[in-house]
Amino acid sequence: MEPLEAICVYCLWCSDSTSEVIRCKNRPCSLWHFRLGHVPDPGKKDPLKAIRLRCLLCAGGSVREVERCDSVTCTLHPFRMGTR
């Protein structure tokens, strides 16, 4: 799975339906710009950095907790370190 695909699946899980993902108003979410499966402004926005920020938020801001994350069912897990 590619990072943009992982974000789409994650957003669908968070919102429960495709129509809710489209209408999502949670702009502060680092994944918001990528929720529809494309990079809105190439060169300015990086989906891997967005995933990293989301994982840091999930882990309470702890880099160590992101590293130790064992939530392998999360589609963002393989990209949690900001790399492929």
Q: Can you give the residue range of the structural domain that contains 23?
A: 3-79
So what's the pLDDT on residue 29? 95
So what's the pLDDT on residue 40? 80
Question: What b/e readout covers 17-46, taking b as 16+ CB neighbours within 10 angstroms?
Answer: eeeebeebeeeebbbbbbbeeeeeeeeeee
**Residue 19: pLDDT over 90:** yes
Would 28 be classed as within a structural domain? yes
Would 73 be classed as within a structural domain? yes
Q: Mean pLDDT across the chain, nearest whole number?
A: 93
The pLDDT tens digits for 39-80 are: 887 777 899 999 999 999 999 999 999 999 999 999 999 999
So what's the pLDDT on residue 9? 96
Residues 31-36 have a mean pLDDT of 94
Would 84 be classed as within a structural domain? no
Counting the structural domains of the chain, the total is 1
